[in-house]
Amino acid sequence: MTIETGPAHWLRLQDRVCVVTGAASGIGRAIAEVLAAQGARLALLDRNAQLLEDVARQLGTHERPAIAVPCDTASEDQLQQAALRVERELGAAQTLVNNAGVLRAGSLGALALDDWNLVLSVDLTGYWLTARAFGAQLRAHRHNEGASMVHVASIAGHFPQSHSGAYSAAKAGVCLLSRQLAVEWGEDAVRSNVVCPGMIRTPLSADFYAQPGVEQARAAATASGRVGEPQDIAHVAAFLASQRSAYVNAAEILVDGGMSSKLMDMVPRPGFSPAR
């Protein structure tokens, strides 16, 4: 077995056509930035056309283009048009990162049906529709090194998060959707994996973390002692997108700073918990 060395583009993503949804901000933007730094050719999808154009302009170069494709991933028609444009301008997509998402807070007893349907349509059905829209392009790589899908779910897909409406249910669905895609499309050399972020600081949560004591309390709930950043997710997603993870399929990687391993430390145990 030959072990390759050298820091330059170790992930071997140069010129790979990568599609990232929800790419205008937060985790999606961070993933796009890491892929661009690795030399990928980017197709960026988001409903926010202005922010998307800004990101594409900042990340794209003449040799490694990044195109902005305004798109609502809950719309099958818009996704089909987006897929046609990507193939026409960049070539057949070899990596798809499903990341677009929404959240509508509320207890299940009081949540409006429209809010439930909206979250499912973007956070779960949208992932399936996006995979299907780009499926033929991904499968077209079956005779070379294959293709990859990376789906951004959440730790909430494994642990209920009260008063978050349909979010936990949708993210749990993403995890099983990914495994089913891996089983059904594996024979065409398409891998499908999930990244499950824990607590990540994004522009949408900036005001939340600005409240006194919130960041300290959340950081203390993790084994790493800090709140995560979008780049923490982006680097894992880039690895799963690359051929360096060629035998990783139908997997779920929890990126939560060890928060899920501190459950027993949250339960009072007199005589066991050291004084702080």
Q: Which positions are catalytic? A: 167
**Residues written for the chain:** 276
Task: Using alpha carbons, list the distances in angstroms from residue 114 to 74, 120, 122, 174.
Answer: 14, 10, 12, 20
Round to the nearest angstrom and report the end-to-end CA distance of the chain: 49
Q: At what angle do helices 126-139 and 76-89 cross, to 10 degrees?
A: 30
- State the amino acid at position 73 in one-letter form: T
Q: Which two tokens stand for residue 121?
A: 């349509």
The residues, any chain, with a CB within 8 Å of residue 91's CB and separated by 6 or more, are: 17, 41
Give yes or no for a contact between 18 and 41, defined as CB atoms under 8 angstroms apart. Answer: yes
Single-letter residue type at 166: A
Q: Helix/strand/coil (H, E, C) string of 72-138?
A: CCCCHHHHHHHHHHHHHHCCCCCEEEECCCCCCCECCCCCCHHHHHHHHHHHHHHHHHHHHHHHHHH
Continuous H helices in the chain? 26-37, 49-59, 76-89, 113-120, 126-139, 167-185, 206-209, 214-220, 230-241
Within 13 Å and on the Cβ side, how many CA atoms surround 215? 15
